[in-house]
Structure 1
Amino acid sequence: MTIQDQHLRRAAVVYVRQSSPIQVRDNIGSTMHQRSLYDTARQLGWREDQIIVIEDDLGVSASFGSVRPGLEKILRMIEADEVGIIFSSQITRLFRNGVDGERVIEYSEVMNVLLGDHNRIYDPNNISDRMLLGINKIFAKQDSSMLHERSFSAKKALASIGEFKIKCPTGYVRIGALIVKDPDKSVRDAIDKIFRLFREEGSATGVTRRLAIEVAESGGVTGYIPTRLPTGVEWVIPYRSRVFNILKNPTYAGANSFGRLTIKKRIKDGRVYKSVKKNVRQDWFSLHMKKHEGYITWEEFLTNQEKILGNTYNFGGYSAGSPRTGNNLLQGLVICGGCGKHLYTRKLSVSRSLYQCRHSETSRYTNCKDLYVNGLNDIIFNEIRQQLTILNVEAVENFEDVLLLEKSKARITRDDSIKGAKNRVTKAEKAYRYAVENIEDGEVSSEIVKNLLKEWEASIKTLRSVENSEDFETAKDPENFTQEERSYLKNILNDLDFIRTSDFISNKDRKELIRCFISRVTITKSDDHKIEIVWSSGRNTVIHMPLTQLKYEKSFIDSLRKLSLTMTNKEIIEKFNSEGVKPLRGRTFTRLLLKSIKRRYKIPSLPR
């Protein structure tokens, strides 16, 4: 293809791209090789002031459908008839995404723009060059697909035997093929603190709040959490997403997992986009436990995931969400019998609140009604007390058998603890010896060797303490229980009265207690409130509660009806508030409240 004057009158664009920030950092030679096309353009006849090097896409991948600002800039320049030729180190650099590649070819054909690389120049208007561009585009797609398939197959093969090298999260480092805890004690303590706070708070938001308070009270000295960057560990602000990622990562439970994420494709605005979707645990490709020392046990990890899932407010399902501090003790547990959706709570005043259905004001669900709290909390506590009274007699009678079983379980737990401690000693010794063998090559620092030696010694000390521990034999023999202790067990339900009325117990703690017994409560409103309690054991209890609707006195309604004949709404509001008349909701009358009362009792307003 002969370069014509119409091409030389326009600009020559050199397109430089690397697929990731890591490539930009490490593959400096590739970037320099792409920039050398500047000299190629000058040799072919373009002046220096006509050559434009576009590097906006350094570190931007083309395979995930993401918008490449550099490529978009080139296309806008082609539309403005400012480009005569586009240079790329390989013409396939423009075709990683099929849609983008086709756009470049079509734009270039319409505006008579050439395409070039280090080997040759292509003219999209020439049928032979157009065919070569199409073939290159197909081969580029095939090459990318084959590389991805081979790479993924190799990963799956390693993952199936638990040897896939997972990315070390913050709190771990890799020494050869081994994953060990970070030698920096401050990093380990920070990760331990997150899991400890989650045991206390029960939610990621609670952990984040505690850490933020600690940052504020310490003046920024403590409370930050570590995150691993290519340059090392950095201490950052405790955002909820960072805490959440730590709590959700099975690596902290000593597991090696693969297949937690799936790439999902979608089409939007004529472009193919790829997003990352998290799989449920049953859909993971592989999961191998006890591959390295964890910060928590696998059992605690599973418990944490159930708690996190339960904290998610899902009004379409039966997820109750995390307990809060409001007066409605059944928050998150109450379901509308009309539409089957969760009722949400609404505070009317200091002492009054209601459970409200989102469909109560629509005509589609005629059975959805609001439920005002008037003794419902007391009814639920009394029902719990009644159920526990029945169960407690049986529990005390069978308590001796339970204790014997617990002692048997304690002995099994002791054997498992000793076995786990021995495994940790073996792993710590293996990591230390590997570090000693590689310290001369500079692969491992002397500081890491010292820390690994300390961990080895600590694991040996832990093993000895477990072997000599008597904690597993402290279960009390049934015959040692006195009559006084048995009587205490039978009267323990009296504590429920203290929990219900004491100012020292928060509403959040009361809600936690109720959730130990009750799975959900369905309320259907007709002639009365039909309350169906589903207990954690699966049994049901049905209670009928009289309707308690907030109603104004007849004298007040008659007075309002009479005033509406001669006064406007504004004048009525001023009169009621000045005379100290209190509404059933709120502290003073407002325009919206007065209109609501008139609409409810069908009181017409004074015509304007």
Structure 2
Amino acid sequence: MSAQSSNPSAQPEWTLGSKITPRHLERLAMVYVRQSTAQQLVKHQESTRLQYGLVERARGLGWPRERIIVVDDDLGRSGASAEGRPGFQRLVAEVSLDRVGIILGVESSRLARSCRDWYQLLEVCALFGTLIADMDGLYEPSNYNDRLLLGLKGTMSEAELHVLRQRMQQGKVAKARRGELGLLVPIGYMRRPSGEVVKDPDEQVQSVVQLVFAQFEARGTVHGVLRYLVNNGIKMPVRLTAGPAKGELEWRRPNRATLHHMLKNPVYAGAYVYGQRQVDPRRQKPGRPGTGRSVVAPGNWLVALKDRLPAYINWEQYERNLEQLKENSAQGLGAVRNGSALLSGLLRCGRCGCRMMVAYGAGRQRYVCCRNAVHLGEPECQSLVGRTLDECMSELVLKALMPSALEVSLKVAEDLEAEHARLAEHWRQRLERARFEAQRALRQYNAVEPENRLVARGLESQLEEKLAAQKCLEEEHQRWLAKRPSPVGEQERKAIRALASDIPALWKASSTTSAERQTIIRQLVEEVVVTILDGTERVELSIQWAGGHRTQTTVARPVARMEQLSYWPQLAKRMEELRSQGLASRSIAEQLNKEGWRPAKRRSTFNGDMVRTILSRHRRLRSTRHEPRTPAEALRPNEWRLAELAARLSMPSITLYSWMKRGWVKGRQLEGALRLWVVEADSKELARLKALRAAPKHEWRRTRTPRPTHKEL
């Protein structure tokens, strides 16, 4: 830069030109001052002083001091966009109101680094006759030659910003590919003055980090790890990175975000990674370059160097942790729940392919495919009682576990002993740290001169605090020892082996929780496809086991009506045959049970009352197809026998009878020998009854049909 351009008070040649007119001098002169970052304000103050010096240049051009306005609202803000720059927006607004005669800036890059913002300013200045001045000259945007030169300067300013950004980003990526770019290290690591990343030298810090990964592998959920740490009073170690206590170790309460970050951080697997969070221009907010970052998949990281850092886990375990976190999310199977349903998250509808949900009610659970019902307003695809599927899957899983029973039992004993040893070691480290801090406070107190009470009082208070903390921790340790289960001895090992030989008893034991059963099933089964065959009691299961093996089986579910049974015609015929032989209802039930017939719902055998009810109902259904035996039994137009209309509506006769008693339908009783009930229902009434039958039961009570008298019935 020439001497003339470096001196703001110098008068360049263009001040003598004819571009400045009295109309320009009547309006304001605005000096725009901007620095891109706060660091430039501290370390590059000469540039800031040079921009403020443009006030003297404006005075030299003829503007009085009171008519010169300095716009410095954008100090520390990037010029890549007009968003987030109130100073630039104020400048454009003042020009649009025809209040500005000239805009002064050191160079065009101070005003805008974006051609969009730069050309907008040029358009407004050309429209209202505002001049633009920098260190090189005076320009009139309405003049073609000046406009061409200003446009070229704006383009070069934008290109310069792009080149600078690209150069800096390529330098960072190149340094990261060598593994030398300094990044923040997570919990359990430290960075030496040489730049080398090592494990934290504190043994307790390392043991806590290892405990987190061990518990996640055992429990499978972040919440399970968090509850374990809280229940055992374990805190997380944090090395302070700022402030007067920088570098010191601080113990904080565990929280879900910290544990989630640890499980997803590849540094713990010994990998040096750069570019996990990249900027998405579609999500970036204008004027805020730090926004718009999103987490990318491991395959899209800019740099991934394995085995470059000391590791707490191997890479295979890190990938298993990521897969487990994905399965725990809404997109996967979901985390293991405490509900009684054992197949939560594993069932898929064989008709529509959607994942089936669990619905609890009245102490029971059902597996329901309701995705289309919720999102599209369609009827439920499939629904069945959960106990039947749970019992079937339990039998199949127990058969799969039998060959490895002894191995599992020994592994359980080893895991119990290892967990006890980890907790005992953690308590030993906590007590050792508390004793050390108390002894250090005592040495500091003894080292001070007794007469110096200003210092002695503070050290005495610190010593009392450390001694109280040590005593409190020792008392808490004694309580933990009292509650701690005894180590696994030879007697316990024999008991574990005995239980392993009887896996079904261990599976059904009251001490075994539903969450533990779900966890075992998820280790063996990947997916179960469920299909109800033709609305009957038969359910087809397609089980995809871990490892690729697939099993096809069929189970029987409980249904609401006998007519839903796939063998109902054969069963009804057989009952009529036995009745024709003169057998009583109890004898018919015993014969049906011997032949292997099974009723509907949840009963496994027939009894006399059930047979009597079925035969009576079946006889009534058949009688509706007969012609009336007397004129008194003749039906009027649009009248139905009760049993016949109930069959038409696919509902029990007793339910339709209760509707008639409540006044929801109109009916009467015939005077013939059978004393049958008939119901009046034309086509419109049939449609209403079908809609009422399909509605939920709680909506039936909303019907407000007047209750008829006994004579009307």
TM tier, smaller: 0.5 to 0.7
Gaps of 5+ in 1: 400-484, 568-592
Q: TM-score, normalised by structure 2?
A: 0.56
What is the RMSD computed on CA atoms of the aligned residues? 5.0
1:201-216 pair list within 5 angstroms: 201-204=219-222
Q: Which moved more, 1:360-369 or 1:148-157?
A: 360-369
For residue 198 of structure 2, the aligned residue among 180, 196, 214 is 180
Tell me the amino acid that sits aligned with residue 327 of structure 2. Answer: G
Deviation at 1:5, TM superposition (A): 4.8
Instruction: Render the CA deviation track for 1:514-543: whole Å, top value 9, x for unaligned.
Output: 111111122223424322211112111223
Distance in 2 of aligned mates of 1:242 and 1:330: 30
Deviation at 1:299, TM superposition (A): 3.8
Match of 1:340 in 2: 353
Distance in 2 of aligned mates of 1:554 and 1:187: 72
Tell me the amino acid that sits aligned with residue 492 of structure 1. Answer: A
Q: TM-score, normalised by structure 1?
A: 0.64
1:514 corresponds to 2:515:
no
Distance in 1 of aligned mates of 2:362 and 2:58: 76
Match of 1:144 in 2: 161
1:541 corresponds to 2:551:
yes
Tell me the amino acid that sits aligned with residue 388 of structure 1. Answer: L
Percent identity reads 27
Distance in 1 of aligned mates of 2:358 and 2:701: 28
Deviation at 1:255, TM superposition (A): 2.0
Q: Which moved more, 1:375-384 or 1:249-258?
A: 249-258
Match of 2:151 in 1: 134
1:292 corresponds to 2:309:
yes
Change (3 A) 1:69 1:177: same
Which gives a bigger RCO, structure 1 or 2 (Cα 8 Å, sep 6+)? 1
Tell me the amino acid that sits aligned with residue 549 of structure 2. Answer: R
Gaps of 5+ in 2: 1-16, 410-492, 562-650, 667-691, 707-713
Distance in 1 of aligned mates of 2:258 and 2:496: 46
Q: Which moved more, 1:236-245 or 1:145-154?
A: 236-245
1:305 corresponds to 2:322:
yes
Distance in 1 of aligned mates of 2:125 and 2:700: 72
Question: Are 1:227 and 1:235, in contact at CA under 8 Å, matched by a contact in 2?
Answer: no
Question: Are 1:564 and 1:604, in contact at CA under 8 Å, matched by a contact in 2?
Answer: no
Distance in 2 of aligned mates of 1:239 and 1:200: 19
For residue 494 of structure 1, the aligned residue among 486, 493, 502 is 502
For residue 531 of structure 1, the aligned residue among 541, 546, 550 is 541
For residue 275 of structure 1, the aligned residue among 262, 267, 292 is 292
Instruction: Render the CA deviation track for 1:452-498: whole Å, top value 9, x for unaligned.
Output: xxxxxxxxxxxxxxxxxxxxxxxxxxxxxxxxx99987972634543
1:42-57 pair list within 5 angstroms: 44=61, 52-54=69-71, 56-57=73-74
Distance in 2 of aligned mates of 1:556 and 1:210: 53
Question: Are 1:253 and 1:297, in contact at CA under 8 Å, matched by a contact in 2?
Answer: yes
Distance in 2 of aligned mates of 1:507 and 1:553: 37
Change (3 A) 1:282 1:554: same
Instruction: Render the CA deviation track for 1:320-371: whole Å, top value 9, x for unaligned.
Output: 1322323332222222223323233333344334434311367798883244
Change (3 A) 1:76 1:245: farther
Match of 2:646 in 1: none
1:562-601 pair list within 5 angstroms: 562-563=661-662, 565=664, 596-597=695-696
Distance in 2 of aligned mates of 1:488 and 1:195: 26
Question: Are 1:198 and 1:204, in contact at CA under 8 Å, matched by a contact in 2?
Answer: yes
Q: Which moved more, 1:542-551 or 1:518-527?
A: 542-551
Q: Which moved more, 1:136-145 or 1:289-298?
A: 289-298
Deviation at 1:179, TM superposition (A): 2.3
SS at match of 1:530: strand
Deviation at 1:87, TM superposition (A): 4.3
1:358 corresponds to 2:371:
yes
Deviation at 1:275, TM superposition (A): 3.5
SS at match of 1:340: coil
Change (3 A) 1:288 1:11: same
1:108-119 pair list within 5 angstroms: 108-119=125-136
1:89-104 pair list within 5 angstroms: 89-104=106-121
Aligned residues, how many? Answer: 487
Tell me the amino acid that sits aligned with residue 267 of structure 2. Answer: T
Deviation at 1:51, TM superposition (A): 5.1
Match of 1:257 in 2: 273
Q: Which moved more, 1:506-515 or 1:46-55?
A: 46-55
Distance in 2 of aligned mates of 1:64 and 1:300: 45
Match of 1:247 in 2: 263
1:314-333 pair list within 5 angstroms: 314=331, 319-333=332-346
Question: Are 1:312 and 1:320, in contact at CA under 8 Å, matched by a contact in 2?
Answer: yes
Change (3 A) 1:202 1:606: same
